[in-house]
Amino acid sequence: MVKFCSLFSGSSGNALFIGTEKTKLLIDAGLSGKRILEALCSIGESPAELSAILISHEHSDHVRGAGILSRKADIPIYANESTWCAMETGLGPVKLENKVAFCTGQQFEIGDICVRPFSIPHDAAEPVGFNFFAEGKRITTATDIGHMSEELLEYIVGNDLVLLESNHDTEMLKVGPYPWPLKKRILGDHGHLSNENAAKVVAYLAEKGCTRFILGHLSSENNFPELAYQTTYNALSEKKIAVGSDVELAVALRDRVGHINII
């Protein structure tokens, strides 16, 4: 049995949980340590049992609480070398034995979970998504994606569950309050994936056999959960794929714990 849950997912902070009976992992820690600890307890998980914190990249909405959690519960933090260099000062003191560096593209094991970090296009030092392999299941988390590519699709296809970024509605972003340089960054090849592009990816993955999808990392200013959901729902419907019977589709919310997925 593999347990997966979005604790928080959005432009204001990100933290995901994946675990087996033996191994418990936190993916990113972009909120206060207190809020993440409360969220873990709300899904029946003890922070003291966390095996590791995995960091996708150094932006504050992914690392804000990592240092305090590591210090409070003596948890190792895993990131690639470039991300460590970019985030280390902001984390505060972390025990040397709790600083673990992985190589992007190379699999490693934490307990009975195999982790494969893969490169994603985003404006950070060396950002990654993660494949997780446990008990014959495969789960992937991929957010902060400026654009989708054939190489990236190879890491995302063939999963039992995918959490994929659906950050913004393009038209909302274009007419919204953000200054033009920020809009240009978000829309760029190393920015964030739009609802429209996420929907196309989900439809493609569904045709290839994936049956569980969670849309994540929604913008607070340029998106609505209902809009992200409907955009992907429509793309699936166009392919004659029925949400609720053929596939499961959910949206990870920015400010609260999501549905617990047992796979």
In the DSSP assignment, the letter for residue 168 is: B
What residues pair up with 87 in beta bridges, in sequence order? none
Identify whether the C-beta of residue 193 lies closer than 8 Å to the C-beta of residue 146: yes
120-158: pLDDT as tens digits? 999 999 999 999 999 999 999 999 999 999 999 999 999
Whole-angstrom Cα distance, residue 174 to residue 196?
Answer: 14
DSSP 44: T
- The count of domains in the chain is 1
Closest CA to 201 of 232, 225, 226: 232
Range of the domain at 25: 3-262
pLDDT 10s digits, 154-188: 999 999 999 999 999 999 999 999 999 999 999 99
**Residue 99 belongs to domain with CATH number:** 3.60.15.10
pLDDT of 11 above 90: no
Give the pair of three-digit tokens for residue 83.
């991300």
Assign 58 a pLDDT band (cuts: 50, 70, 90).
very high
